[in-house]
Amino acid sequence: MILGSAYVFSRWDMKGFFFMIPAVVLGVLLYDKIFSINSELLASLIASSVIGGAAGYTIKNRRSLQFFLLIAALGSTGVFTANYYYLKAVKNVDLFTESRSSFVEYLNRNAEGVKEEKKKELIQQVDQSLEIVKDLVPFSYFLNSLLFAAFTFIVMRMFAKRFFGSADINTEGLEYFRLSDYLIFILIGGWLIFLLVDTAANRWIHAAGFNIALIFTFLYLIQAFGIIKFFFLKKNLPLYLLPLIIIMSIVLLNQYMLIVAIFLASFGAIDFWADFRKLESPGIKGGDQE
């Protein structure tokens, strides 16, 4: 699906939607049959098409790696999130409940030597974790989609080299990663909803604000790393120091990582005002510039 949709969009550009939309409609019409095979199969196929289509469009139009990652990750997140809540509201299927049941079944089947008290303790820990994660479904899908899109990028470069003779995506775009200035209002709005809306009275609104806040906080965290990389390049410092510093920080400052992450995300967010790299704000096209 990924390579197929990538080829369609790289060959016919936006006209690729004329191939993609009928396939999606057919999948929706056959949803019940696909659901009987796997509850997330259709969502996975559509998300794969989104990632592949984003890659094909990126290759054909020589857009940036940032453009590809944002479109692929946010598009896939929307697909999986919509599928999760559709299953829960219409099909009365909770994927977390299914996961818990599978875990309990596995525990009872393969942990014969484990005491009952220990089993109950493990199940209780899983229940506590699921209770927290249930409100973070979109953010969880976003992280998974972002990582998968980044991994897929390697395959897309092979695809580009095979059919175009070269990979035209700007792979060194992190130093130019810069979100639109207007997105700072979404970040602020998300955190305001999380802080001001009462969880008990409006849990869904509170959860929506929290997920929006976390997703854009993570994007601004990436922007902070982009700023750091920019100055590494400007000062001719070896780039291997950047991941080395990150790994050492995680190991040595493990208990302070949340504070460090908040600081870096804030650093990335104020770039809309400070413009540390003196770049023109390119919105979602950020990173196209050399």
Helix, strand, coil % over all residues of the chain, rounded to 5: 80, 0, 20
Q: How confident is the model at residue 283 (pLDDT cuts 50, 70, 90)?
A: very low
The residue that leads in pLDDT, 20 or 275, is 275
The per-residue pLDDT of the chain, averaged, comes to 80
Helix, strand, or coil (residue 170)? strand
pLDDT tens digit sequence for 167-208: 555 554 678 888 888 899 999 999 999 999 988 888 889 999
**Mean pLDDT across 265-280:** 85
Q: Given this model, what pLDDT does residue 219 score?
A: 93
State which of 22-36, 87-101, 213-227 shows the largest mean pLDDT: 213-227
User: What is the per-residue DSSP string for 3-58?
Assistant: HHHHHHHHHHGGGGHHHHHHHHHHHHHTHHHHHHH-TTHHHHHHHHHHHHHHHHHH
pLDDT digits (tens, 9 = 90+) for 48-79: 888 888 888 887 787 877 888 899 999 999 99
Q: How is residue 262 written in tokens?
A: 């908040």
Tokens of 256: 């302070």
Contacts of 100 (CB under 8 A, 6+ apart): 123, 126, 127, 130
| Closest among 57, 64, 72 to 148, alpha carbons compared | 72
Q: What is the pLDDT of residue 65?
A: 78
Residue of 81, 140, 68 lying closest to 285 (CA atoms): 68
CA distance 35 to 52: 23
Structure-model confidence comparison of residues 165 and 272, the more confident one:
272
> Which tokens in the block code for residue 181?
């200035």
Distances (CA, A) of 75 to 14, 49, 71: 16, 10, 6
Single-letter amino acid, residue 67: F
With b for 16 or more beta-carbon neighbours within 10 A and e for fewer, the 154-193 pattern comes to eebbebbeeeeeebebbeebbbbbbbeeebbebbeebbeb
